[in-house]
Amino acid sequence: MNVDFDADIVVPLAVNVVSGGVSWLILRALQAIRTKRRKLFPGDAGVLYVILATAWAVGAYFAVHYATSGGRAVLGTALVAIPTALIFMILWYDILHYWRVGIRSADASMDGRLSPAKTLAAVKNSLDFLGTGASKLTSDREFREAVMRVTRNGSTVRLLLSQPDSSNLRATAQRSRKPVDAYERVVKESLRVIADLYTQQAAQIEVRFYTDIRRFRLMFIDEKVCLFSYNVYASENPLGFPALTVVRATEEEVRSFYWALEHYFGDEWDQARPWDFQEFLT
Domain of 144: which CATH number?
3.30.870.10
Co-location of 93 and 115 in the same domain: no
Co-location of 250 and 131 in the same domain: yes
Co-location of 94 and 155 in the same domain: no
- Distance CA(80)–CA(20), nearest Å, equals 11
Contact 73, 12 (CB under 8 A): no
Q: What is the pLDDT along the chain (282 residues), one digit of tens a residue?
A: 444 545 555 655 566 666 666 666 666 665 665 555 444 444 555 566 676 667 667 766 776 676 666 666 566 666 666 666 766 776 777 778 888 889 988 888 888 889 999 999 999 999 999 999 999 999 999 999 999 999 999 999 999 999 999 998 899 888 888 889 999 999 999 999 999 999 999 999 999 999 988 889 999 999 999 999 998 887 778 888 999 999 998 778 888 899 999 999 999 999 999 999 999 997
Q: Is residue 211 part of a domain?
A: yes
Co-location of 250 and 186 in the same domain: yes
Instruction: Using the 3D structure, point to which of 99, 123, 153 is the last residue of a domain.
Output: 99
Domain that holds residue 270: 107-274
Instruction: Using the 3D structure, point to which of 76, 99, 122 is the last residue of a domain.
Output: 99
How many Cβ atoms sit within 10 Å of the Cβ of residue 151?
17
- Give the bridge partners for 207, in sequence order: 159
Co-location of 70 and 207 in the same domain: no
Contact 214, 229 (CB under 8 A): no
Co-location of 239 and 147 in the same domain: yes
The number of folded domains in the chain is 2
Contact 114, 121 (CB under 8 A): no
Q: Is residue 281 part of a domain?
A: no
Q: Is residue 1 part of a domain?
A: no
Q: Is residue 182 part of a domain?
A: yes
Co-location of 236 and 163 in the same domain: yes
Co-location of 154 and 68 in the same domain: no
Q: Is residue 268 part of a domain?
A: yes
- Distance CA(95)–CA(128), nearest Å, equals 28
Contact 218, 231 (CB under 8 A): no
Q: Is residue 279 part of a domain?
A: no
User: pTM of the entire structure?
Assistant: 0.74
Q: Is residue 262 part of a domain?
A: yes
* pLDDT attached to residue 277: 96
CA-CA distances (angstroms) from residue 126 to 25, 122, 146, 261, 273?
A: 46, 10, 9, 16, 21
Co-location of 84 and 121 in the same domain: no
Co-location of 21 and 131 in the same domain: no
- Distance CA(22)–CA(15), nearest Å, equals 10
Co-location of 84 and 112 in the same domain: no
Co-location of 87 and 170 in the same domain: no
Q: Is residue 2 part of a domain?
A: no
